Structures are given as C-alpha cells and as structure tokens.
C-alpha cells in the first residue's frame, strides 16, 4: 500500500491514496456471465434483507481487521492509560456500546466503525488536550449513531457483486471475503468524509460535549490545531473535504 507523504491531519475527513483506490469498488462491473448476473441479483436480494445484527457483524469483522493491521496500545501503554482516563464511564453512550482504544501510529487521525468501535491514533493524542480528544470521540460516535458508514456498507453490498461472502461462520453470521475487506473498510470510512456527514457529526460532538459537561470550546480549538497542521489544503480529494478552519468557525458560531 502506498502511503501518503503528507502528514495525515484531519480526523476522519482524510483520505489516503489507498482509500481512493478502494472507491474502485463502485467502478462499473466487468463483463458479466449469466451466472454472474444471477449471482448479482441474489446479492441485491440478500443486501435488501440484511439484518441490523448482520450489519454489526460485518462492522466487527472490519474492526478486527483494522486492529490486526495496526498496533493497539496495550493496557499499560501511556496512551491507553490516558485514553482510558479521559473516557472514564464511556463504555456506552446514546444507546451504543462503545469500544474506544488507541493505536500507536503517527497519523493525526481517528475513525469509528458501525459496531461502536472507536480508534484514536497516538499522533492525534499528541496534538490535542484531553477535552479536544473527547470532542473527536464525540464526533466519531456521531458517525456511528447517524449511520454514515452503515449507509455506505449497505450500498456496497447492494452494488458490488464482487463483494463476495466467503461463507457462514459457525455462529451463523456471514463473513466478508478477506480479499474484499481492505477495500470495504476504506470505502466505509470514506463515507464519513462528505461535508454533510462531517457537519452532522460536528453538531453531534457539540451535543455530546454539552451532555457530558465537557467544554464545547474544545471542539473548535481541536479544529484550529488541525487547520494549523495543514488539514484544509492538501492534495486530490482532500480539497473537496471540509476545511477544519471553516468547521472551527461554524462550531464557534453554534456555541452559546
């Protein structure tokens, strides 16, 4: 996988080159045999009826894969200790069960999956105060609660016949083929990058901060830091993503 040379700097409104490549999941299908077409029709039927429980199982599979690809901070690691402290009591929120952990990686980044998995990169924690990290976590919970990744996952299941399911695990839960997993993860995470999704999650983060009696001002101040790191400029699709300076300004205007 080719790594971006630029530092990664805007929470989940960040797409790597690898992430862009994964959007090929939506590329027109190659010529299909009759059998393929039948298979596709079957997939669409499956996707239309896929249960919420199954969707969560797919997300869990993707979360496990991300954890496998990254270095999780172990319990005694200073990042894990700090994160555990600043998220005390946050095992659930707004009806969601949460699993919040740190990755040891220099990326200034964070993401969430639809099963309630939230991962915060140590590179982000290095830049932000505890309250600013809390705001990022609130923002990520927003993506889960508002179903941004879930919509994309359902769309991918409906549209991509290549998203073959490897089989049914002993638990009775279907699993995504390993060969499709990486692309699907990037695809689902990238669904959170639209202006509308980011704005909705920013608003959610402000409500989260208020509900938890954390200072809302930590949200725009986190954005200021990202803006200073150059998150608003960038290359390629980054240009189409929300500018952290604008997000900071919008959030400041919303804070009473």
Q: Which residues belong to the active site?
A: 140
What size, in residues, is the chain? 256
CB of 121 to Zn ion, least distance (A): 14
Nearer to Zn ion (CB atom), residue 160 or residue 198: 198
**Per-residue x/- mask for Zn ion, residues 173 to 202, rule CB under 5 A?**
-------------------x-----x--x-
Contacts to Zn ion from residues 6-65, by CB under 5 A: 12
Size of interface with Zn ion, in residues (CB under 5 A): 4
Minimum distance between the CB of residue 40 and Zn ion, rounded to whole angstroms? 32
- Which residue from 139, 145, 153, 137 is spatially nearest to 186, judged by alpha carbons? 153
Q: Is 12 or 100 the residue whose CB approaches Zn ion more closely?
A: 12
The residues in 200-239 that bind Zn ion, with binding defined as CB under 5 A, are 201
User: Quick count: other Cβ atoms within 10 Å of Cβ 131?
Assistant: 18
Q: How far apart are CA 133 and CA 83, in angstroms?
A: 9
CB within 8 Å of 35: residues ≥ 6 apart: none
Ranked by CB distance to Zn ion, the top (closest) residue is 12
What's the min distance (Å) between Cβ of 103 and Zn ion? Answer: 16
At closest approach, how far in Å is the CB of 85 from Zn ion? 24
Q: Of 12 and 238, which CB lies nearer to Zn ion in the complex structure?
A: 12
Looking only at residues 86 through 125 of this chain, which bind Zn ion when binding is defined by CB under 5 A? none
Q: Of 22 and 192, which has the nearer Cβ to Zn ion?
A: 192
Binding site for Zn ion (CB under 5 A): 12, 192, 198, 201
């Amino acid at each position: 996988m080719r790594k971006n040379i630029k530092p990664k700097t805007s929470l989940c409104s960040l797409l790597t080159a690898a992430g862009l490549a994964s959007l090929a999941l939506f590329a027109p299908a190659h010529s299909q045999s009759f059998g393929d077409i039948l298979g596709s029709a079957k997939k669409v039927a499956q996707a239309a009826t896929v249960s919420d429980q199954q969707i969560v199982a797919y997300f869990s599979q993707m979360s496990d894969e991300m954890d496998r690809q990254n270095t999780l901070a172990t319990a005694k690691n200073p990042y894990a200790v700090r994160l555990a402290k600043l998220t005390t009591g946050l095992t659930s929120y707004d009806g969601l069960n949460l699993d919040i952990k740190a990755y040891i990686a220099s990326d200034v980044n964070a993401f969430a999956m639809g099963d309630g998995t939230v991962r915060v990169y140590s590179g982000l924690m290095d830049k932000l105060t505890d309250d600013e990290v809390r705001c990022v976590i609130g923002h990520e919970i927003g993506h889960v609660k508002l179903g941004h990744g879930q919509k994309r996952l359902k769309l991918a299941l409906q549209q991509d016949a290549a998203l073959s399911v490897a089989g049914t695990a002993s638990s009775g839960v279907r699993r995504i083929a390993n060969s499709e997993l990486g692309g699907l993860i990037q695809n689902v995470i990238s669904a959170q990058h639209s202006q509308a999704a980011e704005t909705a999650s920013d608003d959610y983060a402000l409500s989260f901060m208020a509900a938890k009696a954390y200072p809302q001002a930590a949200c725009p101040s986190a954005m200021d830091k990202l803006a200073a790191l150059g998150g608003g400029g960038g290359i390629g699709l980054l240009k189409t993503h929300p500018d952290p300076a604008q997000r900071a300004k919008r959030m400041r205007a919303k804070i009473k």
